[in-house]
Amino acid sequence: MSPDQSGSLSRRTVLVSAVAGGIGAVAGCLDGDRDGPDPVSLDDGQACDTCDMLIEMHPGPVGQAFYGDDAPRSLPDDRDDGAAWFCSSTCAYQFILEEEERGHEPAISYGTDYSTVDYTLRDDNGVTVISAHLEADAFADLHDLTFVADSDAEGAMGGSLIGFSDPDDAEAFQSEHGGELLAHDEVTREVLTGLGMGM
């Protein structure tokens, strides 16, 4: 299953440049305790708080963040624990980075942990996509994941950040499917732009 590679070199070039250039913008908390609600399943008709797509209708890694009493105004008032839900890891980081600039930082944020699920890859009209895993126990703290960015496996929004709690799993995936390895604090606006997310 070989995806259409058009445009991947330019995205990869941007990603390599962003990481190699030591971009200083940092996503998420600095050192300290990250405590908050446990993740929830995202298979009950939830829509993405970045792009409004129904989460369960799409492949790839998903995310969620909990803001508690510091919930951004864009979230519904009745959302438990100031929760935000995302159809992709790229949508999650776009929302989190934008809200951090506005002074809202999540107490804790989660992404799909592909070290703990039996994922599959499939061909979708010439593009390789990775399976979605929406159950609560498929998530890990974003700070604890090593991401493979811009591999030949895509998610809901195309180029993706596929997270693994075991760095060896991330390296093995990268070896087979290409891409760049990134830690949580290396995911910046420039990286998202390289993945095709307009911010």
- Amino acid at site 99: E
CA 26 to chain CA mean position, Å: 15
pLDDT score of 111 more than 50 = yes
Contacts of 158 (CB under 8 A, 6+ apart): 195, 196
Average pLDDT over residues 21-35: 45
Average pLDDT over residues 181-185: 97
pLDDT score of 83 more than 80 = yes
Average pLDDT over residues 19-41: 58
The residue behind tokens 């996509």 is 129
Closest CA to 55 of 22, 15, 83, 88: 88
79 token code pair: 């959302």
Are the CB atoms for 108 and 65 separated by under 8 Å?
Answer: yes
Sign of the alpha-carbon dihedral angle for 106, 20, 16, 173: negative
Q: What is the pLDDT of residue 198?
A: 55
**What residue spans of the chain are helical by DSSP H?**
8-20, 89-101, 167-177, 189-194
Q: What is the pLDDT of residue 33?
A: 59
Task: Report the helix count and the strand count for the chain, using DSSP H and E.
Answer: 4, 9
Band (104; pLDDT cuts 50, 70, 90): very high
Are the CB atoms for 138 and 110 separated by under 8 Å?
Answer: no
> Each residue of 140-156: pLDDT tens digit?
999 999 999 999 999 99
Q: What residues form DSSP beta bridges with 180?
A: 149
Percent of the chain scoring above 90 in pLDDT: 71
pTM equals: 0.82
